[in-house]
Amino acid sequence: MTLVVANWKMNLGYAQAKRWLAVVGPELSRFEVEVLVLPSFPLLPLLQGQRPQRLLVGAQNAGPAASGAYTGEVSPVLLKELGCTHVLLGHSERRFFFGESPELVARRTAAALEAGLSPIVCVGEGIGEERQAVLERQLAPLKPWAERLILAYEPLFAIGSGRPASVDDARAARELIARLLDRTAPVLYGGSVTAENARCFLREAGMDGLLVGTSSLDPTGFVGLLEAIADAT
Ligand code: PGA
Averages of pLDDT over each 10 residues, the chain, 233 residues: 97 97 96 97 94 95 98 98 98 97 98 98 96 98 97 97 96 97 95 97 96 98 96 59
Nearest CA to ligand 1 atom 2: 213
Instruction: State which ligand 1 atom lies nearest to the alpha carbon of 190.
Output: 6
| Residue 50, pLDDT score | 85
| Residue 206, pLDDT score | 95
Look up residue 41 and give its amino acid: F
Active-site residue (options: 130, 136, 154, 175): 154
Q: Is 108 helix (H, G, I), strand (E, B) or coil?
A: helix
| Residue 114, pLDDT score | 98
With beta carbons less than 8 A apart as the criterion, state whether 114 and 79 touch: no
Which residues partner with 187 through β-bridges?
151
Active-site residue (options: 86, 91, 93, 125): 91
| Residue 233, pLDDT score | 57
Q: Please give the C-alpha separations between residue 133 and each of 43, 123, 175, 190, in angstroms, as whole numbers.
A: 37, 12, 14, 20
d(CA 189, CA 7): 13
Q: Is 86 a catalytic residue?
A: no
User: Ligand 1 pocket by C-beta < 6 Å: which residues?
Assistant: 7, 154, 159-160, 190-193, 211-215
